[in-house]
Amino acid sequence: MSATTILWFYIVFAAADLVWGLFLTFLNYRNVLRNADSVPLEFRERVSPEEHRKAALYSLARMRLGFVSSPVMTALTLAAVVTGFFGFVDGGIGSLVPREYLHGAAFLGAVALLASLVSLPFSLYSTFVLEKRFGFNTTSLKTWAADALKALLITIVIGLPLLLLLFLFMDATGRFWWLWAFVALSLVNLGISIAYPLVIAPLFNKFSPLPEGSLAEKIRELARRLDFKMGGIFVMDGSKRSKHSNAYFTGIGSTKRVVLFDTLVAQMGEEEILAVLAHEIGHEKKRHVLKGMTLSLALSFVGFWVLSLLRYWAPLYPAFGFAGASKEALVFILGLASGPLTFFLAPAFSAWSRRHEYAADRFAAEAAGPEAMGSALLKLNLENASNLTPHPLYSFWYYSHPTLSERLRALGAVNEAPTGRARGPELAGSDQNQERGG
């Protein structure tokens, strides 16, 4: 296969990824717009027209941003590949940093910095215009900049040694360098997972143990009843940056902990918070965390193996604008092409994640009651202005969590959830279902 053929292959997949994503977003946009003034029948007793319209307008605004950002980022990336820009940058850095390993790390760092700068206008608009317009943003430009600087420093402190270690394995451990690198870097990542809640996360947020009282006692009783051991339950000052609410599970072994956003604690009653915690405990009891780590390791293993197969494939490098084979070019090309070349796998990963969410919901319903779980889900969705009317194909392709109606229906709580004014989005999980590109 020639370099030209490889280039066209990449262009076709990148274009297909973009066009398919825009098509799905268009379907979703049209569906949300059509239903913006009509609360879905199953929610009319619990969601006001104003709450539903706000959620719809928020989703529409995020999708409009995606209609601009996705084509711009894809077009700039393709232009850089076709013109040989990345090879030019690599050559320029090589003339300034002649030492091979540092040259490779500097190139990858420079490309990452360039990508961040190109996406900066969209990030600023999303945080300080779009999120502010809908009443979610509470961060200042100073805090935002400090977060970006901290993230950059952490990336350098952790990423640079890992890159140098990878380059060393590629040179010093023979034919099976990729296997040694996989094992070593997996162990390092395990160490980072253990250290994250204790060292890294506190650099960005304040984590306070849940104060003593009725809620703390009920949580301890829930943990005892479910035979769940953890390093603690902490409240995070999420309101420092946003009014969005969530809860998540982090850490491994003795460092594992449940983290509640302070906004979530303020929005929910005690029984609902217990349901949220039971959902998180359900992920642990059902071994979803372990399964996720196993999948991540398997994908990492495949990635290293692919690197070993492509390392000496001569046409690959000029196809992306590089003068010849190099370690940094190999790592960069795999990172650049992996997304477009695997975009069609998204539904499989989304379905796998949704299956885990359903299982955790059932666990929480058994532990804390379906009514409390249903009420918590409803409050989370409304509080975060999550979309109540996504297009089915869009949610099938992208949503890591089932839609609210699907989750309540699975709980048998569509007609059982409390009829009081509910306020909130998605539940507990490490991420939320958001409109693509926002």
Same domain, 190 and 237: no
CA dist 181 to 193, 301, 379, 403, 434, Å?
18, 9, 45, 40, 35
Same domain, 93 and 230: no
> Number of folded domains in the chain?
2
Nearest to 401 by CA among 430, 421, 373, 374: 430
Reduced to 3 states (helix: H, G, I; strand: E, B; else coil), residue 324 is coil
Last residue of a domain, one of 327, 347, 367: 347
Letter string b/e over residues 187-213, b meaning 16 or more CB atoms within 10 A of that residue's CB: eebeeebbeebeeebeebbebeebeee
C-alpha 113/C-alpha 180 separation (Å) is: 29
Structural element, H or E, at residue 101: helix 100-125
Report yes or no on 434 lying in a domain.
Answer: no
Q: Which of 361, 383, 406, 435 is catalytic?
A: 361
Given this model, what pLDDT does residue 433 score? 59
Report yes or no on 432 lying in a domain.
Answer: no
Same domain, 217 and 264: yes
* Residue type (1 letter), 288: H
The sign of the dihedral angle between the CA atoms of 88, 89, 95, 101 is negative
DSSP label of 240? G
C-alpha 370/C-alpha 297 separation (Å) is: 35
Report yes or no on 430 lying in a domain.
Answer: no
Same domain, 187 and 135: yes
DSSP label of 197? I
Same domain, 130 and 24: yes
Same domain, 254 and 321: no
| Residues 6+ positions from 137 with CB-CB distance below 8 Å | 127, 128, 131, 241, 242, 243
- Write out the E strands in 166-213: 207-209
Same domain, 26 and 46: yes
Distance of CA 167 to the CA centre of its chain: 28
Report yes or no on 169 lying in a domain.
Answer: yes
Same domain, 358 and 242: yes
CATH of the domain at 243: 3.30.2010.10
Q: What are phi and psi of 60, to 5 degrees?
A: -65, -40
Last residue of a domain, one of 298, 317, 347: 347
Reduced to 3 states (helix: H, G, I; strand: E, B; else coil), residue 425 is strand
Same domain, 188 and 219: no
361 counts as catalytic: yes
Same domain, 273 and 410: yes
262 counts as catalytic: no
Given this model, what pLDDT does residue 230 score? 75
Q: What is the pLDDT of residues 314-336, one digit of tens each?
A: 999 999 999 889 999 999 999 99
Q: What is the pLDDT of residues 260-318, one digit of tens each?
A: 899 988 889 999 999 999 998 999 899 998 899 899 999 999 999 999 999 999 999 99
Q: What is the pLDDT of residues 175-205, one digit of tens each?
A: 899 999 999 999 998 888 888 888 999 999 9
Q: Which domain holds residue 211?
A: 207-287+353-425
Structural element, H or E, at residue 224: helix 214-225
Report yes or no on 254 lying in a domain.
Answer: yes
- Write out the E strands in 219-378: 233-236, 247-250, 257-261
Given this model, what pLDDT does residue 254 score? 64
Report yes or no on 300 lying in a domain.
Answer: yes
Distance of CA 148 to the CA centre of its chain: 17
C-alpha 32/C-alpha 391 separation (Å) is: 8
Same domain, 358 and 334: no
Report yes or no on 401 lying in a domain.
Answer: yes
- Angle between helices 177-195 and 288-310 in degrees, nearest 10: 150
Q: Which of 51, 90, 280, 435 is catalytic?
A: 280
Contact present, 59 and 381 (Cβ < 8 Å): no
Report yes or no on 188 lying in a domain.
Answer: yes
User: Which residues in the chain come in under a pLDDT of 70?
Assistant: 253-255, 413-438
Last residue of a domain, one of 306, 327, 347: 347
Same domain, 343 and 363: no
| Residues 6+ positions from 430 with CB-CB distance below 8 Å | 248, 249
